[in-house]
Structure 1
Amino acid sequence: MSEETYDWVRLLQENRDDVLARWTEIVRGSLAGRMSATESSHDLREVLDALLAGQGSTDVRSPSYDGLRSLLAELSRTRARQGFTPTETAVSVFALKEAVLGLLQASGDLRGYRAFADLSGLVDELGLFMVETYSATRETVIAEQAESLLELSTPVVKLWDGIVALPLVGTLDSARTQVVMEALLQALVDTGSEHAIIDITGVAAVDTQVAQHLLKTVQAARLLGAECIISGIRPQIAQTVVALGIEFGDIQTKANLSDAMLLALRRSGLDVVKSGRGRG
């Protein structure tokens, strides 16, 4: 171990409590009270101990810092899932420099300033490691949320024995089409239904791509022996479909869900008779 490297390690060891107190105060101030003093102090104490356990190595990827990297990775993932910003996450490491610098300014230790330069570079690398881990975790969280939203936005409803409905809202892209198709096919298998109504009343616009996605879903349902009816064809959508030359072939379309329901009932061999009750 070189003398310069030893200096910053000794600097932290000899002033451990003072550095930890300053560090905790800075971090808590930047987080605007979102963490308690006890929680902050505990986390930072573990980071400081893991940093000192590295025995002065300046390579953050070295085996001597395995424990520190694991600790910072878990801290970053926790902060990301708790909704902290990247800055609020990385400050847990970067604030160590400010804490040590404040200590040196108070003591006027020139040798300590030389040691601080070595420590500063190491802390910067550790901070970048935290940001990288944070970003990866946020991407995972966003992907999980997006997947959950896709599943929530494609409910399949059983309307009658042998009849299910799939109301669609929003846009229909390739990723969502896959979720829609899987949800509908699974519902057809689970319920043994032979008729499915795909209601697009809530779909903002129908273009060639959306039409192709709908056709693929209908074709997949037919492979399971089920017939589909597309409902929710509003006047403006009908005009767009004609203008684009989109062909639905032999797929039945209806203006609204109730008309599609009547057709599905008739295809099932049921007659809908208007009740005469309530007349004088």
Structure 2
Amino acid sequence: MNLGIAIADFTQPGGPTGIARHVGRLARTAEEYGFTRIAVMDHLFQIGIVGASEQEMLEAYTTLGYLAASTESAELLALVTSVGYREPGLLAKMITTLDVLSEGRAALGIGVGAGFNIAEARGLGLPFPPVSERFERLEETLRICLQMWSDDEKPFDGRYYRLERTLNSPRTVRQPRPPILIGGSGERKTLRLVAEYADACNLFHGPDLQHKLDVLRRHCDHVGRDYDEIEKTVLLPLDPGARGENIRALLAELRRLGHIGIDHVIGPIRGADQHASLRLLGDRLVPEALHI
């Protein structure tokens, strides 16, 4: 099983002047220890499970560009891009740019955006339409990105988006295109879109995880997709404990997840000292996870 990190907490004792060093160091350390993905959230206000909305939060794609220059091998993605925050043609161009400048390490992580995004969207004047419309926009966005990452430059005429020429130059370094990961566990719409369009899914860690995988399998059967082609990822907080006392329980959970078919666990690094926690995980969890 592969492990990745999600950088979510940017608050530093020294304030904004220490953030760049903190983020770059986390990413480089993760890569050195064998973490294969580095993700950031697509939020503009901090979210409640991490801290108060007034705490520091960086814009996702500017941060990923910085991480592209700070690392050499890890895949880079937003977990996950909120579909309404960027026009699809611009988003495809941003992912392409990240892929070129990282020499083929970009992925598109995308979703409809959970309900708690509404405060930051309204706060900063960004669109946040009803959830049914966001799902329709998500499907059009996926189609536009796929078209822009192909040889097809014809116009795109959808219900919400109209593009006169889907030109995308330079082409992506990663071929045939950057992989698409769709985040969310909705059984009727989200997992159907995974079956139709995605290379990977990101599911919530919870007691119904096996059920969600079964639903995805049924959607794959319905559309004629090979279920095993889709990478299954889960977001799981990684807290080793101050002295590594949680490592054994984390490893047991990774084994359980691997047994039901999870391929990749991505987690925010928890603990008072994120760097110390990351080193503990790198020393004691990553080597064992590779054998799952």
TM superposition score normalised by structure 2: 0.30
> Of the two, which has the highest radius of gyration?
1
> Normalising by structure 1, what TM-score?
0.31
Higher RCO (CA 8 Å, separation ≥ 6 residues)? 2
The structure in which a higher percent of residues are strand is 2
